[in-house]
Amino acid sequence: MGLIRTILVCLLACAGCVPQQAGDATRPGEKTPPRGSFFTCPGEKQLKPGDLLAEIEKTRFLLIGEGHSNKCDHEVQAGTVKLLAESGKRFSIGLEMVTTEMQPVLDRFNSGELALKDLASELQWEENWGYDFGYYSRIFRMARGYDLPVYALNLPKDVVRTISRKGLTGLSDAQKRHLPGRIIPAPEEQKKALAPFFSGHSKMLDKQGFSRERFFLSQAVWESKMAWEAARRQEETRMPMLILAGSGHIETGWGIGYRLARMCPEAKIIRLLPKRELSCQDSVRGIRFYCPSQQRSHLGMVLEKTAGGIRVEKVVPGSKAAEKGIKKGDLILSAAGEDVSRLMDLHAAAVRAGEKGRELCLEIDRHGAEQKACFKLGDRKE
């Protein structure tokens, strides 16, 4: 069940596992830019802070993508909030990380009634989102300091789950109250883009009774909800909105921006997206910031793609990785006997090992000495 859960999470995150990491290799001879550097895509022109402000002038919706466990991405988001606020701009902040039934909590925070130290517990952050609140605390701190209102955008998890399992007819009356005022269906481009992923995992998905139709419906409702809430709050406040969300909801041509463009056709929408590779190799127009690929493994590691390979950036205490003696700074050389140079290689090796019912054995370089760690997949401790 661990692999099935991972696959479905990847799908529901909209990017799919494959596209998200497909271009994270550093090409020979290329110079790594400073972390957080901004570039235009296409064109690859590096932007200074003043250039960035000029690029996003008169923007109604500024969408900033993230890898949820990528520290660099969060630093760029916080830096952008600070840059805009200190330039004198007034704007609101919309969050994928908070579901709309928690807006009363954010209202108390916006009014100054709720202290930042109590915000995570009041939002039930760990249960509802799960990623380290520390990554987001600086955003909330600046929102309080610069008097920027914060709004929840996301659909409650149980609504997404019910739609993916039973469709709209399976929703209770209480759940239906959370639906957006307008649902924009999934475009054909999305269905075509994800077709190879479905095919590659068809056996496992079929065993779980997975329905592509319900998946695309739940995805459409989910994305439409975030766009609808953003548009509603922007109209209400008459201020531009800075939206923080997973890159999968922003990078593709069928996410939040796709829905916003149809709900607010006259609005200027700009996307700031993580740039994992050193050149713009996709057709997505917008502004990119350079942050190396990172991934939080279910085994209890934060992994980063570097020029030298896949490096362990963090090991969660008490996790499977910690139990096996994996340490920060370790380089993963191979997985299940296959050489790995990209995060996607590691994911693919894990999927294949799981399908064959085998352990996932990692060959590790630790300061020149080779180590080995083997994991039974699906037996998670986190």
Domain of 190 in residue numbering reads as: 32-290
Structural domain includes residue 21: no
CB half-sphere exposure, 246, CA atoms < 13 A: 23
Is a pLDDT exceeding 70 seen at residue 23?
A: no
Calculate the alpha carbon distances from 254 to 20, 154, 166, 270, 309 in Å: 15, 16, 23, 15, 32
- Examine the domain organization and report whether 183 and 244 are in the same domain: yes
- Examine the domain organization and report whether 214 and 317 are in the same domain: no
Q: How far apart are the first and last CA of the chain?
A: 15
- Examine the domain organization and report whether 42 and 188 are in the same domain: yes
Share of the chain above pLDDT 70, in %: 85
Rounded to whole angstroms, the Cα distance separating 1 from 21 reads 23
Highest mean pLDDT among 25-29, 72-76, 191-195: 72-76
- Examine the domain organization and report whether 122 and 235 are in the same domain: yes
Structural domain includes residue 151: yes
Is a pLDDT exceeding 80 seen at residue 119?
A: yes
Rounded to whole angstroms, the Cα distance separating 163 from 218 reads 5
Structural domain includes residue 91: yes
Rounded to whole angstroms, the Cα distance separating 98 from 106 reads 9
Can you give the pLDDT at residue 282? Answer: 52
- CA torsion through residues 115, 117, 118, 121, sign: positive
Can you give the pLDDT at residue 7? Answer: 45
Can you give the pLDDT at residue 11? Answer: 52
How big is the chain, counted in residues?
382
Q: Over the chain, what is the mean pLDDT?
A: 85
Can you give the pLDDT at residue 194? Answer: 83
Rounded to whole angstroms, the Cα distance separating 266 from 59 reads 11
pLDDT band at 147 (very low <50, low <70, confident <90, very high): very high
| CATH number of the structural domain spanning residue 142 | 3.40.50.11550
Contacts of 280 (CB under 8 A, 6+ apart): 39, 41, 42, 43, 44, 288
Which of 290, 308, 338 is the last residue before a domain boundary?
290
- Examine the domain organization and report whether 133 and 75 are in the same domain: yes
| CATH number of the structural domain spanning residue 354 | 2.30.42.10
Rounded to whole angstroms, the Cα distance separating 323 from 198 reads 34
Is a pLDDT exceeding 50 seen at residue 20?
A: no
Whose structure tokens read 């550097």?
37
Rounded to whole angstroms, the Cα distance separating 116 from 254 reads 34
Structural domain includes residue 170: yes
CA proximity to 306, closest of 253, 365, 246, 245: 365
- CA torsion through residues 290, 296, 302, 306, sign: negative
Can you give the pLDDT at residue 62? Answer: 97
Calculate the alpha carbon distances from 307 to 27, 110, 342, 370 in Å: 9, 43, 10, 19
**Tokens found for residue 330:** 């370790």
Structural domain includes residue 27: no
Q: What one-character DSSP code corresponds to residue 240?
A: -
Can you give the pLDDT at residue 27? Answer: 41
- Examine the domain organization and report whether 245 and 329 are in the same domain: no
- Examine the domain organization and report whether 309 and 195 are in the same domain: no
Lowest-pLDDT choice from 1-10, 180-189, 277-286, 290-299: 1-10
- Examine the domain organization and report whether 271 and 324 are in the same domain: no
Rounded to whole angstroms, the Cα distance separating 304 from 205 reads 29
- Examine the domain organization and report whether 266 and 305 are in the same domain: no
Query: Of residues 14 and 345, which shows the higher confidence score?
Result: 345
- Examine the domain organization and report whether 224 and 341 are in the same domain: no
Q: What is the mean pLDDT of residues 109-131?
A: 96
Lowest-pLDDT choice from 97-101, 235-239, 354-358: 354-358
Rounded to whole angstroms, the Cα distance separating 131 from 156 reads 16
Which of 290, 317, 342 is the last residue before a domain boundary?
290
pLDDT band at 207 (very low <50, low <70, confident <90, very high): low
Q: What is the mean pLDDT of residues 315-319?
A: 91
Query: Of residues 212 and 99, which shows the higher confidence score?
Result: 99
Is a pLDDT exceeding 70 seen at residue 239?
A: yes
- Examine the domain organization and report whether 357 and 210 are in the same domain: no
Query: Of residues 178 and 46, which shows the higher confidence score?
Result: 178
Q: What is the mean pLDDT of residues 90-103?
A: 97
DSSP strands (E only) in 248-324:
269-275, 286-290, 294-297, 301-306, 309-315
Contacts of 96 (CB under 8 A, 6+ apart): 153, 154, 226, 243, 244, 245, 246, 249
- Examine the domain organization and report whether 252 and 309 are in the same domain: no
Q: What is the mean pLDDT of residues 188-210?
A: 76
Rounded to whole angstroms, the Cα distance separating 173 from 170 reads 10
- How many distinct structural domains can be found in the chain? 2
pTM for the model:
0.79
